[in-house]
Amino acid sequence: MNLKTMLGAATAIALALPAYAEGTLNLYTWSDSIAPELIEKFEAQTGTTINTDGFQSNEDALTKLQAGSSGYDIVTPSQHFVKIVIDEGLLEDIGAKDLAAYAQVDDKWKGQWWDPENAYSIPLAYGTAGFAVNRDVYEGPVDSWEVYFTPPADLKGKVASLSYPDEVVGAAQLYLGVPFCSEDKAEMKKVYDLLMAQKPDVAAYSSDNIENRLGTAEVGAHFWWDGNVLKTRNDGANIVYAEPKEGLVGWLDSFVVPKGAANVEGAKQFIDFMSEEENATIQYNYYAHSSPVKLDLTKAKYTPENAPELFPTVPVEFSKACSPAAQDLVTKVWTDLLR
Amino acid sequence: MRGARIWGLVPAWVLMLATLMVPLLIVAAVSVAERGSYGGFAWDFNPLSYREILFSEDWDGNLVFDPKYLAIIGRTLLLAGATTLICMALALPVAYVIATRPPKTKALLIYLVTLPFWVSMIVRVYAWLIILGSEGFVGRFWHWIGGEGTLLFTPGAMLVGMVYSYIPLMVLPVFAAIEKLDPALLEAGADLYGSRWTTARRVILPLTWPGLAAGAVLVFVPALGTVLEPMLLGGGKQMMMGTLIQTQFGGARNWPFGAAVALVLMAMVVIVLVINARRSIRKEARA
């Protein structure tokens, strides 16, 4: 008996007690990413009880899935992590292309490299990772990553980064012209040198509480995601999402079902529910990230005019699933940076 | 009679084995397992993780002695040590004042000391983000006296958060020790022309030492594994052992190395506890 089965057995015993699996659905999604209105609606429609748990990084989600028997029925990782969990055999084949939800998905997201057979995943939202500045702190141009990585006088000591390397290293690679997932030590050394030179001007490496830190001008520039900037700007913060000419880091989150999930049917039902035009529109208006499924455009709140964050005009480069060798270099950059 | 006593202890032993020893052995086994390509691990024997604590590949691919993890361990020890010392210095007078109040006030004050435990740790640390932030009253005061920049994301902010989180664990045992102090001994000190300072140093301090030592262990041990304060208040600019371990299981996808660092942390805790236990045994032998 290996560790995974042991952990699995332990969790199964723990879960068996309250397991009216039919009636409950356990979601593990990006924190606050699903519209509460839709959760209530689904519960009312189906009599299912939904439990939600949030994660703040793909790494957290991956770790939970690898530990085995997470107890979740639905998880929403990004494309490069979907690829990893499929390859590692951690997902349930839900026959995604036969789901009603699949018909709603925009063609450009079908048959992609992370799930070429469309067997495991239905996309939920997509967008970009870049940086935003607070206009009370910094008034200059934001058309290049140069502003972020080699901050001008107004931003010295007032830049904030994320606590995980994933997208930050990607952005540094875009700026330097180094390919994503490079296995070339000399190239990755350049990434390290850039981040190390930026470090004296970085106030914090933290993925929590970003809206407060940037909104209250505690820092002047923050690594962030498109829709979060949009929401915080709409709440009255004087911030703007940069459109660096070197490009933005792209992501697409999908619904997937962990292997051995207790309520696979309920999970499929929920995925179909979320992809219905009316519900997808409610979700879009709540989450403020772009939707890969059909929307009711008469009710969709965000347009290129009122939400430029969601409609970037610069190139978008999607994160890839790195080889172990490439990932070790990313880790080395990060550990040496924060040593 | 004797047999019954031994059998009566079986549930306790089973509990200890199942919840303490088995998980520990699993961690030890993982630390020498083969790392999986994308996280996870495969059973095998590979002690490379322990070499990695001291030696790592540089940018040219040579294996060199690299003290980066030793620096992280040293920094963690320093932070936990500073937290313990500050907690001691602050807890002693607080506990003394509480212990010398009338019984009713005393009960209320002790209740107040434990009150923060009713609120989640994360919420309490977030509260400091607000207090020290530029909109918070400490932050505003700092700007009013002409301070520059933000108070957050500094080692000082981190230390404030740590002391705040752990000080109740110091106050309680010290309070218990002071409460047992015989007031006659203090009077005797005064009668012998000892100043208040001398009394504190020569009478109160030695007699409350067991309480301080117990408090020191209670504070130092969890402070070694702390993750929240360095990340939220310290700005995560320098890793601590807690964050290092977390990174290995997350972004770095190197579970065996994470397990190895966790065992090193564990060994440090055991050393502290053993030193403490030996001291108290010696004390008791003398008494």
Q: Do domains A3-126+251-287 and A127-250+313-337 have the same CATH topology?
A: yes
The CATH number of the domain where B235 resides is what?
1.10.3720.10
DSSP at A78: B
Predicted local distance difference test score (pLDDT) of residue A8: 47
Q: Which domain holds residue B188?
A: 67-120+162-286
Any domain includes B48: no
Q: Which of A57, A208, A212 sits opposite B250 (nearest CB)?
A: A57
Q: Which fold has domain A3-126+251-287?
A: D-Maltodextrin-Binding Protein; domain 2 (3.40.190)
pLDDT band at A22 (very low <50, low <70, confident <90, very high): low
A152-159: long-range contacts, CB 8 A cutoff, minimum separation 24: A154/A220, A155/A201, A155/A220, A155/A221, A156/A201, A157/A200, A157/A201, A157/A203, A157/B149, A158/A201, A158/A203, A158/A219, A158/A220, A158/A221, A159/A198, A159/A201, A159/A202, A159/A203, A159/A219, A159/A220, A159/A221, A159/A222
Looking at residue B2, its pLDDT comes to 65
Compute the C-alpha angle B39/B40/B41, nearest 5°. Answer: 120
| Number of neighbouring beta carbons within 10 Å of residue B155 | 17
Q: Does the distance separating the beta carbons of B40 and A88 come in below 8 Å?
A: yes
Contacts with B40 from chain A: Cβ below 8 Å: 66, 88
Task: Out of A60, A202, A212, name the one closest to residue B250 (CB).
Answer: A60
Average of pLDDT values for A51-62? Answer: 91
Residue A9 has pLDDT above 50, yes or no: no
CB pair distance less than 8 Å for B231 and A199: no
- With residues binned 3-state (H G I as helix, E B as strand, rest as coil), the percentages for chain A, rounded to 5, are 45, 20, 40
Q: Which residue has the higher pLDDT, A92 or A15?
A: A92
Cα distance between residue B36 and residue B18, in whole Å? 26
Contact A138, A214 (CB under 8 A): no
Position B15 in a domain? no
Min CA distance, B229 vs chain A (Å)?
12
Both tokens assigned to A332: 């080395």
What was the pLDDT predicted at A49?
96
Q: A15 pLDDT exceeds 80?
A: no
Domain at A127-250+313-337, CATH homologous superfamily: Periplasmic binding protein-like II (3.40.190.10)
Which of A58, A87, A163, A323 is most worth mutating to test chain B (most B CB atoms within 10 A of its CB)? A163
Range with lowest mean pLDDT among A141-145, A177-181, B238-242, B246-250:
B246-250
Of A11-25, A190-204, B98-112, B113-127, the one with minimum mean pLDDT is: A11-25
CB-CB neighbors (< 8 A) of A153 in chain B: none
Domain boundaries, chain A: 3-126+251-287, 127-250+313-337
Residue B231 included in any domain: yes
Q: What is the full per-residue pLDDT of chain B (287 aa) written as tens digits?
A: 567 778 888 998 999 899 989 999 999 999 999 988 888 888 989 888 999 899 988 898 889 999 999 999 999 999 999 999 999 999 999 999 999 899 999 999 999 999 988 999 889 999 998 899 888 888 888 888 887 777 889 899 999 999 999 999 999 999 999 998 888 888 888 888 888 888 888 888 888 888 999 999 999 999 998 988 998 899 899 899 999 998 898 888 899 999 999 999 999 889 988 988 888 788 777 76
Q: What band does A283 get if pLDDT is binned at 50, 70 and 90? A: very high
Measured between CB atoms, which of B40, B135, B237 is closest to A216?
B135
Share of chain A above pLDDT 70, in %: 93
pLDDT in the model for residue B287: 64
Average pLDDT, chain A: 92
**B209 lies in some domain:** yes
Burial of B80 (0-12, 13-18, 19+ CB in 10 A): buried
Q: What is the pLDDT of residues A151-176, one digit of tens each?
A: 999 999 999 999 889 899 999 999 99
Residue B275 forms part of a structural domain: yes
B238 vs A: CB within 8 A: yes
Residue A177 has pLDDT above 90, yes or no: yes
Residues of B within 8 A of A327 (CB-CB) are 38, 252-253
Give the closest residue to B48 by CA, choosing from B269, B253, B259, B243: B259
> Predicted confidence band at A258 (pLDDT cuts at 50, 70, 90)?
very high
Measure A331 CA to nearest chain B CA, in Å. Answer: 5
Residue A188 has pLDDT above 60, yes or no: yes
Going by pLDDT thresholds of 50, 70 and 90, the confidence category of residue A97 is very high
The total domain count for chain B is 1
**Residue A1: per-residue pLDDT:** 38
Q: Is A189 on the interface with B (CB under 8 A)?
A: yes
Are A205 and B135 an interchain contact pair (Cβ–Cβ within 8 Å)?
Answer: no
B100–A contact, CB cutoff 8 A: no
ipTM: 0.83
| Rg for chain A, CA atoms, rounded | 20
